[in-house]
Amino acid sequence: MREPRLAVAVVTMGDRPDEVDALLESVAEQDLPPERIVIVGNGCPLPDFTERLSLPGRVTTVELDENVGCPGGRNAAIARLRAFGDIDVVVELDDDGLLVGTGVLRRVRELYAADDRLGIVGFRIADEHGETQRRHVPRLGAAGPLRGGYVTGFLGGGHALRMAMLDGIGDWPAEFFFAHEETDLAWRAADAGWRILYAPELLLRHPKTSPARHAIYHRVNARNRVWLVRRRLPLPLVPVHLAVWVLLTVVRNRSSPGALRAWFGGFAEGVREPAGERRPMRWRTVWRLSRLGRPPVL
């Protein structure tokens, strides 16, 4: 059987030129070069990377007229790869990340070659001190970041997606702009019978950050959570999921009235505005996710 062909996709807003160069250099150092590299300028012009960097494979740049958000930018990269028609797996990396080690892409290829129902592979993310934030471990409980295995979700900063899976379940939910797009994609993948693997040996170094650094975080986070469950959960689970997260949000932000106002404003927007196509997961998928350690109400 033919080995899977890999591409690397990076989306940038043009505000991290040094970090993008460092990331691409870490891609160039891989002992398995990608077949293609696609770099998307999300509402920004892009330089000629091939003039400054010695990059492997065929490099393609895509410049979007406006910032369409992280999932929209990734969709632009996927669309270009789909048009080429010669890629089996796309590795998507945050523009301020850095691949650690030279065998990352080779290991990705090995994992996909060994399992034809493997749809998503999640990388481990650690900061410059080697610390993995708790929110970057894709499972509940006290399990450490070095424990790999099948999970119910993945990290947006570093992951790989099988193109055949995307052809079947659809691409990223661009209307989310950012927040919860990974969960929407993971739930659709699981419902279609694809496996999601957390592989901690695949390491992406990434600066330690908080998602709340974005001014619109609380509003969009709440809006997208409502959209997510309206689109993907069986009706009896919708109020359960939302009630759990209302309680958690109030507890976590009780000392920040401004954050709570923004969150509940986004929640109301999610209820009021159209959520998109409703395609709820099957009950057997609910059971499968629960057996993997994360019922879709948490």
pLDDT in tens, 147-180: 999 999 999 999 999 999 999 999 999 999 999 9
Query: pLDDT tens, 234-258?
Result: 999 999 999 999 999 999 999 999 9
The per-residue pLDDT for 216 is 85
Mean pLDDT of 201-216: 79
Domain CATH code at residue 48? 3.90.550.10
Burial environment of residue 139 by CB neighbours within 10 A (0 to 12, 13 to 18, 19 or more):
middle
Whether 1 is in a domain gets the answer: no
Domain boundary among 152, 178, 209: 209
Confidence of residue 210 (pLDDT cuts 50, 70, 90): low
Whether 240 is in a domain gets the answer: yes
Domain boundary among 182, 209, 236: 209
Confidence of residue 37 (pLDDT cuts 50, 70, 90): very high
Q: Within 13 A of 172's CA, how many CA atoms are on the CB side?
A: 24
Confidence of residue 2 (pLDDT cuts 50, 70, 90): confident
Instruction: Find the domain containing 176 and state its range.
Output: 6-209
Whether 294 is in a domain gets the answer: no
Q: Which of residues 141 and 111 earns the better pLDDT score?
A: 111
- At residue 136, does pLDDT exceed 90? no
- At residue 214, does pLDDT exceed 60? no
Whether 190 is in a domain gets the answer: yes
- In degrees and rounded to multiples of 5, residue 206 shows phi and psi of -145, 135
Is the domain of 196 the same as that of 265?
no
Weakest mean pLDDT among 184-188, 189-193, 256-260 = 256-260
Whether 287 is in a domain gets the answer: no
- At residue 141, does pLDDT exceed 90? no
Mean pLDDT of 194-207: 97
Number of separate domains in the chain: 2
Mean pLDDT of 18-38: 97
Work out whether strand 58-63 and strand 36-41 pair parallel, antiparallel, or are unpaired: parallel
Mean pLDDT of 208-232: 86
Is the domain of 188 the same as that of 125?
yes
Is the domain of 140 the same as that of 152?
yes
Instruction: Name which of 136, 116, 122 is nearest 211 in CA terms.
Output: 136
Is the domain of 262 the same as that of 119?
no
| Alpha-carbon gap, residue 227 to 112, rounded angstroms | 31
Is the domain of 116 the same as that of 251?
no
Cβ neighbours, 10 Å, residue 227: 23
Is the domain of 135 the same as that of 274?
no
Mean pLDDT of 199-212: 86
The per-residue pLDDT for 143 is 66
Is the domain of 150 the same as that of 218?
no
Is the domain of 221 the same as that of 204?
no
Domain boundary among 159, 184, 209: 209
Whether 58 is in a domain gets the answer: yes
| Alpha-carbon gap, residue 98 to 95, rounded angstroms | 8
Is the domain of 43 the same as that of 180?
yes
Could you tell me what percent of the chain has a pLDDT over 90? 88
Structure-token match 């920004």, residue found: 44
- At residue 212, does pLDDT exceed 60? no
Mean pLDDT of 7-31: 97
Confidence of residue 211 (pLDDT cuts 50, 70, 90): low
Is the domain of 216 the same as that of 148?
no
Whether 285 is in a domain gets the answer: no
Q: Which of residues 135 and 200 earns the better pLDDT score?
A: 200
Instruction: Name which of 129, 120, 104, 143 is nearest 26 in CA terms.
Output: 104
- How many residues would you count in the chain? 298
Whether 220 is in a domain gets the answer: yes
Is the domain of 167 the same as that of 255?
no
Is the domain of 16 the same as that of 154?
yes
Work out whether strand 98-100 and strand 6-12 pair parallel, antiparallel, or are unpaired: unpaired
**Average of per-residue pLDDT values in the chain:** 94
